[in-house]
Amino acid sequence: MTKTALTGMQLGARAKRIEILNTLPVAPEWSEASRKLRDDGYVDVTSIVDRSLAQAVAAVGDDKVRRLAELKGKQQLGHKSFWVSLLDEDLVDGAFATDHPFVRYALQPGILRILGDFMHELPQLSDVLLTQSLPSENKPLSYSQLWHLDHDDKRVCKLFIYLTDVRDTKDGPLTFIPAPSSKPFRNTIKSHMTDDKVFTKVDRSAVKEIIAPKLSSFIVNTARCLHMGSRIQSDRTRLLYTATYIQPPRMYPEPPARFRTTGPLSDIERAVMRL
Ligand SMILES: O=C(O)CCC(=O)C(=O)O
């Protein structure tokens, strides 16, 4: 109801955003990806994305990992013992430069078109993130290691790139239950759930683990697909890029700007980042 009311109050802004969405190029494989995202709640976009942009993201990731000890000391986001956030040094007043490879990757026309057709609205880029997941030894599972839906907004999609090979379960793959099978949990208030709780309502055969090599990229509707990950075992580590998009208008008050203009931007890019 909140979302509908907010959308109703901003019909002019919505019409403008749809007009901008309509200026994006189209391609049959993007339409197919959008349809898959709508029906299943996820889609593999590895063959769709610009490989050189993915490689630029990976180069940033590799550099951060080389300097891991130094960066760990500076980490702001310290509540998850199995997660290290490595981008804090790239922020100025909490904002990323718009020419940062992580931002460029999230602004690809194909990705915006896939998300836009799915949301019937130009998506809003909310955040970009680099995380290194580490073995959590014998600690109980916590946070995103447990099954959850994202509640950042009503419609939330995440674009991921694996920046290390995820070869098997020990590498802590992103694991999800496609949207149709996640339905029994759609209106659940409980946010993070154990396997036992989930598998009373969903058959284990519905679970999909994304086992895929470095530079694989995929979009998941994380507000509709129960998901978890980072259950790293033995001596493995996993490096992951995440871009989070919402369908505007945002249900909660807009947080401080996450992006700062550096270099020229198109009207589409400005609208996607609210700049
Ligand atoms: O670490 C993972 O694989 C899970 C990530 C996750 O739950 C999220 O980005 O919402």
pLDDT at 145: 95
Q: How far, CA to CA in Å, does 177 sit from each of 165, 168, 173, 204, 221?
A: 21, 17, 13, 9, 11
| Distance from C-alpha of 150 to C-alpha of 146, rounded to nearest angstrom | 12
Per-residue pLDDT reduced to its tens digit, 209-262: 999 999 999 999 999 999 999 999 989 999 999 999 999 989 888 899 999 999
- Domain count along the chain: 1
With a pLDDT cut of 90, the percent of the chain lying above it is 75
pLDDT at 223: 94
Supply the CATH number for residue 85's domain: 2.60.120.620
pLDDT at 172: 96
Ligand 1: which of 144, 146, 216, 225 to mutate, judged by most atoms within 8 Å of the beta carbon? 144
Question: What is the residue with the minimal CA distance to atom 4 of ligand 1?
Answer: 229
Q: Is the model's pLDDT at 182 over the cut of 60? A: yes
* Residue range(s) defining the domain that contains residue 249: 2-273
pLDDT at 137: 75
Question: Which ligand 1 atom is the nearest neighbour of the CA of 222?
Answer: 10
pLDDT at 113: 98
Question: Which ligand 1 atom is the nearest neighbour of the CA of 175?
Answer: 3
Give me ligand 1 centre to Cα 20, in Å. Answer: 30
pLDDT at 84: 62
Of 226, 232, 231, 236, give the one whose Cα is nearest residue 192. Answer: 226
Average pLDDT in the chain: 91
